[in-house]
Amino acid sequence: MNPSTNIEQRITELEIKAPAVFLFEGAKDGIVLSETGRAFRFDGSYGGLTELEALPFPPSDGAMARNGLFIAVSAAARRGALFSAEDMSFNAEIEFPETPGPFEPSAVAVYGDWAAVADRNNALVFIVSLNEKKTVFSLDADSPRDLAWSPL
């Protein structure tokens, strides 16, 4: 059996109610955020899950950032924040500008010290400085639902 197939099978066998996003820390370890805000750590053996502190809001999406942090965004809570991947402690709230309609962050992607956050309700993508923890500028985007960011 292909080793990657074995990993995929083990991931799909983990029992998590309403998983929203898997955040990988390296090749095999990471955190799963559920739609309810519950968080779980899994290790490379995928033998089970360890429940962590819950997020203070139900996440729409999340992405690993720098220095052991991850960013989570929530369309329901209309916010984004940085958390410690080690102990789930709150690190910082991300500042977003006022928008014409309710802020509805649906997706986030990280590249270095920058994050892109899709606001599906206002047809915008915010570019956030993770160092300053605030939006630096925004781009128009028709109904953004997901984001990916790469050096290519």
| Half-sphere exposure for 73 (CA within 13 Å, toward CB) | 29
Q: Enumerate the β-bridge partners of residue 101.
A: none
pLDDT(123) > 50: yes
Task: Please calculate the CA angle 125-128-129 and round it to the nearest 5 degrees.
Answer: 160
> Quick one: average pLDDT of 12-34?
80
Judged by average pLDDT, the poorest of 5-19, 44-58, 65-79 is 5-19
pLDDT of the residue at 14: 56
- Rounded-to-integer distance, Cα 41 and Cα 26, Å: 13
pLDDT of the residue at 7: 47
pLDDT of the residue at 46: 62
pLDDT of the residue at 47: 67
pLDDT of the residue at 9: 46
pLDDT of the residue at 131: 95
CA–chain centroid gap for 151, Å, is 19
- Rounded-to-integer distance, Cα 93 and Cα 131, Å: 12
Q: Give me the long-range contacts of 124-133 (CB less than 8 A, separation at least 24).
A: 124/99, 126/96, 126/97, 128/80, 128/94, 128/96, 130/65, 130/66, 130/69, 130/71, 130/82, 133/82, 133/92, 133/93, 133/94, 133/95
pLDDT(3) > 50: no
Residue-wise pLDDT for 53-109, tens only, equals 999 999 999 999 988 999 999 999 999 999 999 999 999 999 999 999 999 999 999
- Rounded-to-integer distance, Cα 42 and Cα 24, Å: 9
pLDDT of the residue at 70: 97
Going by pLDDT thresholds of 50, 70 and 90, the confidence category of residue 33 is very high
Least Cα distance to 25 among 75, 72, 71, 65 occurs for 65
Q: What is the mean pLDDT of the chain?
A: 88
pTM: 0.86
The amino acid at 39:
A
Q: Enumerate the β-bridge partners of residue 21.
A: 33
